[in-house]
Amino acid sequence: MITVRPAKLEMWWVVVAGAVLFITAIVAVSFGAVDLDIGRVAASIMDRLSFVEIDTGFTAQQEAILWEIRIPRVVLAGMVGATLAVAGGAYQGSFRNPLADPYLLGVAAGAGLGATLAIAYAPSTTMWPIDPLPLFAFIGGLIGVALAYLVGYSTRAGRTSVTLILGGVAVAAFLTAAQTYLLQREAETLRQVYGWILGRLSTVGWSEVLLILPYVVVTGVVVIAGRRRLDVLSVGDEEALALGVDAPRVRLVMVLAATLGTAAAVSVAGLIGFVGIIVPHAVRIVFGTSYRVLLPLSILYGAAFLIIADLIARTIVAPAELPIGVVTAFLGAPFLAFVLRSSRGAGV
Amino acid sequence: MSAPVALDGVSVRLGGTTILDHLSLDVAAGSWVSMIGPNGAGKTTVLRCITGAVPYQGTVRIGSAGVAGMPVREVARMVAIVPQHPTLPEGMRVVDYVLLGRTPHRGSMTSESEHDLLLVGQVLETLDLERFADRDVATLSGGELQRVVIARALAQDTPVLLLDEPTTALDIGAQQEVMELIDRLRSQRELTVLSAMHDLNVAGQFTERIVLVSGGRVVADGAPGDVLTPELIDRHYGATVRVEVDEGRVVVVPIRARLGADESLDDSADGEADDAADKPDEEILDA
C-alpha cells in the first residue's frame, strides 16, 4: 500500500516566504532620501509593536519619516503587490490561461477612464471630502468588469471563458476609446493621466492603506478559500461538472473577488503591470502548479516583489521618482522571457 | 451500491440540429451495456445527458432519482465519466489527478480526509499505478493515461460508470487490458457501466448487450449476435462486413464488397474520409 501525498503547502515554504517579505520590508523602510539605520528601524518597530520599551535613538523627525512616510508606503506597496499577484493567479486558474492577468476583463480600461474623468473634471481635491481619483478609478474598474460580464454572458453560444474574455476585449476597446477622446479634448490633463497609468505609490501617510484594506482583505480571503476549486477547474468546465463543481459559478466568484482587489489597488497605485503574471509564474516554477500552493505564496512573494520595485523606483533617480510600472516592466519583461525559455510543462 | 440508469424520451437540440430524438434506454443495475453507432449518431451526447453537461428534454434517472435539478455534487456522487479526450492539467501529478475524483465527497474548504487518501491509495494499487504516482500526467503513454483517468473515476466511488470510447486511442494490447480491467472492476464493485464504443469487435467481445444508436435514436438493442448483423451495420454505418462466431463471441470482419480495380480506389478514399469525419462530429457534440 502506498502512502498518498497530495500537493500541499509546506509550512517551511510559508516561513521562508514570510522571512523574505519581512527582511525586504525592513530594508525598504531604511532607504530613501534620508537613510535610516536598519538596526534602529527594527528597534523602533519592536518598540511600537510590542509592550517592550526600546530606546531607538531616532530624533522625532526621523521617527516621523519612518512612521508617517516610509512604513505606510512600504505597507501600501506590499498590499498592492500581494493583491495584484493573487488576483493574477486567480484569473489564470479561472480562465486556464497562463497569460491572464488582473487587468484581463476591462478593469484597467474602466479604471483608466475613471481616473481621466477625475483628473479632467473634478475641480480640485480640496473641494472633495476624499481624493476623487481613487474613487473614480475604483468605480470605473468595477463598471468595466460588469460590462465585460454582461457582454460575454449575453452570447447565445453558451457561457464559456472564451466568450467572457472576448466580452472583456470589446469593453476595454470601447472604454479606451472614450478615454482617448477625453484626453484629446482636455490636453492639459495628459501628463497627469500618463503618470497615473504608469503607476505611482506616492502616498500621504496611512489614508490609502486604510482605504484599500477592506477590499484587499476580502479579495485575499475569498481567493484563498477557493484555491482547491481552481485545481478542479484545471480539467476544464465539463469535467469539473462531472466532479461536482459548477465551473462558471466558481469563475464568477473568483473573478469578482480578484477584480474587487485589483480595482482597489489600481485606484491608489495606478496601472502597475506584470506583477500579476510574473509572480504567480515564478511560484509555479519553483513550487508546482497546484493553486493551493500557488495562491498563498503569491501573496507573500507579490508583496515582497512590489516592495523591491518601489524601493528601486524611488531611489534609482533620487530625488526624482521613476513610475513604479516602469520598474516592474523592466524587471518583469526579461524575467518572463527567461521563464518562457527555461520552462516546459510549468503551465507556460 | 449498484443502481440502474434510465433515459426516457430524451431529446437534445443544439444550434437547430437534433442530436437525440426521443431516445429511451435502460441499463440494469450491475450490467455493462455498449453503445455503438456511426460518428455523430449521438453516443457521446447520451453520456453527457446523464452527467448533466447538456440540456435535454425528457427524463434521466439514476437509481430511483431523476437527475434533472439535482445539485451537481449529488450527481457526481452517483455517476463518474471517463471522457474520450480528458483535459490534462499541465504539471499535475498522477496522485493529485486521481484525488480530484474525491471532490464531490468533500467540502469546498476542506482538505482530503484520511479516508480519501486511503481510498486513492487502494485505487492506484488496484490499477497497478503505484509507480506512476508522482509522474506528471502529461508524460504518460496512452494506455497508462487511460488507467489514470479510470482511476480518477473509481476514486469518485460512484455506482455508475460511463466510458466514452475508452479504447479508441489505444493499441490492441492496451485495448484488451483496459476492457478486462473494466470488466473485473464492474463485477468486483457491482458497477453499472455504459460505454460508447467505436470498435465493434471490442464491444462484441466484452459486453453482453449492445445498443445501436443512429440518428439520435436507438435502432437496435440486444445481444451482440442480434445487433452486429451485416444488414444493420450496412444500413447504419454504410459498411460491408461479414459476421463470424468464434467461441460463442461475435467477430465482425470488414470486407471489400465492391470488387474491381476502379472501385478499390474509391474504397481507400472512403476509409480516409471516415477518419477525417471523426473530428467535425465531435465538434458538433462538444459545441
Mean pLDDT of chain A: 86
Confidence class of residue A229 from pLDDT cuts 50, 70 and 90?
A: very high
Q: B32 lies in which domain range?
A: 5-223
pLDDT band (50, 70, 90) for residue B271: very low
B244 within a domain of the structure (yes/no): no
Would you state the pLDDT for residue B258?
A: 62
Q: Residue B75 and residue A297: Cα distance in Å, rounded?
A: 34
Nearest chain A Cα distance for residue B76, angstroms = 5
Share of chain A above pLDDT 70, in %: 93
* CATH code of residue B100: 3.40.50.300
For residues A114-130, average pLDDT: 73
| Interatomic CA distance for residues B251 and A72, integer angstroms | 78
Is B65 domain-assigned? yes
Which stretch of A46-60, A141-155, B73-87 has the lowest confidence by average pLDDT?
A46-60
Q: Which three cell numbers stand for residue A178?
A: 472614450
Identify which of A98-107, A206-215, B262-271 has the greatest average pLDDT.
A206-215
pLDDT digits (tens, 9 = 90+) for A289-309: 999 999 999 999 999 999 999
Instruction: Say yes or no to pLDDT of A123 above 80.
Output: no
Distance CA B229, CA B239 (A): 11
- Is residue B256 in some structural domain? no
Which residues have CB under 8 Å from A13's CB, separation 6+? A287, A293, A297
Read off the pLDDT of each residue in A165-179 and give the average, rounded to a whole number.
90
Architecture of the CATH domain A11-342 = Orthogonal Bundle (1.10)
pLDDT above 90 for B209: yes
**How distant is the Cα of B126 from the closest Cα of chain A, in angstroms?**
10
Tell me, what's the pLDDT at B270? 46
| Interchain contact, A284 vs B104, CB within 8 Å | no
Q: Whole-number mean pLDDT of chain B?
A: 87
DSSP SS3 for B135: coil
Interface TM-score (ipTM) > 0.95: no
Domain count along chain B: 1
Instruction: Tell me whether residue B252 is in a domain.
Output: no
State the smallest CA–CA distance between residue A215 and chain B in angstroms. Answer: 21
Contact A238 B133 (CB under 8 A): no
A248 in contact with chain B, both atoms CB, cutoff 8 A = no
A239 against B275, higher pLDDT = A239
- Residue B282 clears pLDDT 80, i.e. is over it: no
Question: Is the pLDDT reported for residue B61 higher than 90?
Answer: yes
What pLDDT score does B277 carry?
42
Per-residue confidence (pLDDT) for residue A26, from 0 to 100: 93
The answer to whether A162 contacts chain B (CB < 8 Å) is no
- Residue B281: the pLDDT is 45
Mutate to test the interface with B, among A243, A253, A291, A294 (most CBs of B within 10 A): A243
Residue B284 predicted with pLDDT over 50: no
Would you say residue B231 lies in a domain?
A: no
Taking contacts as CB-CB distances below 8 angstroms, the residues of chain B near A289 are 89-92
Q: What are phi and psi of A57, to 5 degrees?
A: 80, 5
Percent of chain B's residues with pLDDT above 90: 70
DSSP letter string, B239-280: --EEEEEETTEEEEEE---S-SHHHHHHHHHHHHHHHHHHHH
Inspect the interface and report whether the beta carbons of B72 and A245 lie closer than 8 Å: yes
Question: In the predicted model, is pLDDT for residue A270 greater than 60?
Answer: yes
Closest residue in A to B106 (Cα) is A244
Instruction: Return the C-alpha cell found at A232.
Output: 478542479
Domain ranges of chain A: 11-342
Residue B76: which of A242, A346, A347 has the nearest Cβ?
Answer: A242
More reliable by pLDDT, B62 or B285: B62
B265: in domain: no
Residues in chain B closer than 8 A to A244 (CB atoms) = 72-77, 103-104
Determine the residue type at B230: P
- Tally of CA atoms within 13 A in the half-sphere of A150 that contains its CB: 8
* Per-residue confidence (pLDDT) for residue B219, from 0 to 100: 95
pLDDT of A129 over the 90 cut: no
Per residue in B245-255, pLDDT tens?
A: 888 888 999 98
Half-sphere exposure of residue A237, counting CA atoms within 13 Å on the CB side? 18
What confidence tens digit (pLDDT) does each residue in A187-209 have? 777 777 877 777 777 666 788 89
Q: Is A344 on the interface with B (CB under 8 A)?
A: no
